[in-house]
Structure 1
Amino acid sequence: MKADAKAEAAPAGGGSKKKLIMIIVAVLILAIGGGGGAYFMLKGQDDSAEHDDEPVKKKSKKKKKEAGPPVYVPVEAFTVNLQPEEGEQYLQLAFTLQVPDAEQSEGIKNNMPKVRSRILLLLSSKKASEINTPEGKQQLSKEILEQVNEPFEEHGDEQEVSEVLFTSFIIQ
């Protein structure tokens, strides 16, 4: 009888081990499935939040940062010859660039020779009559903004300059 008791006890113990292993495997599958599901749900929310923003002309490789106070980058004054109309005319222009953060400010300061060259070429192509009116000044501001926002390196990111603020504007 002792042998029969041992034989009956063994299958019962083996069955409970199987149940325990099955339960552990089921819990692991649920945990992995739940974690994966949560990951994709949260990732989907991040993607949809990006698509809810205003349309962007070019996607920046940089992540958007929290909005803080703008940073201003003053640009040294320009004095250029304008295209001739009524004799020789000169433009003396100084402005400040508005950027979202110190990182953008540093990028522009580090590339100031390129900024100045682009603006100098733009300004020297203008006639006094084109930029003497308020509308002409606004158009010039847009053109300066386009020039400054162009990438400094081929296939590089655009700058994030949001505004050109004239601080001096003299035509002589």
Structure 2
Amino acid sequence: MATASKANAKVAAADDGAGSGAAAKGSKKKLIIIIVGALLLAAIGAGAAWFFMGKAQGGQDGHATAAPPPPKVDLSKPPVFLQMEPFTVNLQPENGEQYLQVAFTLQVADQSQVDYLKMYMPLLRSRILLLLASRKASEIGTAEGKQKLQTDILAEVTKPFVPNAAPQSASGVFFTSFVIQ
């Protein structure tokens, strides 16, 4: 009997060794699968972030587009100006009805910009009319308000008229008449 119980103990020990070896082999496979799955998820997440961040930065095809540099002023050439027809708009009401009559001149890079702006003049005037009509007299009555309005008008002038086109090259807005009544 002692021999049989020693033999059973050896068999049981052999089974435990084989079982623990199979368990170790199975747990290694599970660990490798988990690591590969985690790496795959991280790669997918990074790819998705790159794709969506590229779109959020303004690129049409996922690539970021750089802001155009400000127009360079060439001091060897005389300045080129485009005089705009006067604008008359109703302002946003504060203390009864008020209106703004304003005339200004744009400084542009060259004569080709003048011709281009003239070609799109209805669109340009519409943009500026909407901008002016969105203001209150108290916003544009001060010197700081007028300077901000110049900056906002310049932004509307330089905004491309056609999708994916280069912005217009204008560098200044100069008021020649400004009446709030």
Q: TM-score range by the shorter chain?
A: 0.5 to 0.7
- Indicate conservation of the 8 Å contact 1:77/1:94, yes or no: yes
Q: 2:177 aligns with which of 159, 168, 171?
A: 168
* Structure 1 residues 65 and 85: alpha-carbon distance in aligned structure 2, compared to 1, 3 A threshold: closer
Q: 2:67 aligns with which of 57, 77, 87?
A: 57
- Indicate conservation of the 8 Å contact 1:92/1:171, yes or no: yes
How many matched pairs?
114
Describe the SS at the equivalent of 2:95. Answer: coil
Q: Deviations over 1:105-146 (max 9, x none)?
A: 111111110110000000000000000000000000000000
Aligned equivalent of 2:158: 149
Report the CA distance between 1:155 and its aligned residue.
0.5
* Structure 1 residues 65 and 164: alpha-carbon distance in aligned structure 2, compared to 1, 3 A threshold: closer
Stretches of structure 2 lacking an aligned partner (at least 5 in a row) = 1-65
Describe the SS at the equivalent of 1:106. Answer: helix
* Structure 1 residues 153 and 86: alpha-carbon distance in aligned structure 2, compared to 1, 3 A threshold: same
Q: What TM-score do you get using the length of structure 2 for normalisation?
A: 0.60
Rg bigger for which structure? 2
Describe the SS at the equivalent of 1:155. Answer: coil
**1:1-172 matched pairs, under 5 angstroms:** 57-58=67-68, 68-172=77-181
Q: How far, CA to CA, are the matches of 2:98 and 2:129 in structure 1?
A: 15
- Indicate conservation of the 8 Å contact 1:108/1:115, yes or no: yes
- Indicate conservation of the 8 Å contact 2:92/2:134, yes or no: yes
Q: How far, CA to CA, are the matches of 2:96 and 2:112 in structure 1?
A: 44
Q: What TM-score do you get using the length of structure 1 for normalisation?
A: 0.63
Report the CA distance between 1:57 and its aligned residue.
3.0
* Structure 1 residues 86 and 106: alpha-carbon distance in aligned structure 2, compared to 1, 3 A threshold: same
More relative contact order in 1 or in 2 (CA 8 Å, sep 6+)? 1
- Indicate conservation of the 8 Å contact 2:89/2:132, yes or no: yes
Q: Deviations over 1:49-100 (max 9, x none)?
A: xxxxxxx83269xxx8965212100110010000000000000010000012
Q: Which amino acid aligns with 2:166?
A: D
Q: How far, CA to CA, are the matches of 1:157 and 1:86 in structure 2?
A: 41
Q: Give me the identity figure in percent.
A: 56
Stretches of structure 1 lacking an aligned partner (at least 5 in a row) = 1-55
Runs of 4+ in 1 over 3 A off after TM superposition: 64-67
* Structure 1 residues 135 and 59: alpha-carbon distance in aligned structure 2, compared to 1, 3 A threshold: closer
- Indicate conservation of the 8 Å contact 2:73/2:109, yes or no: no
Describe the SS at the equivalent of 2:86. Answer: strand
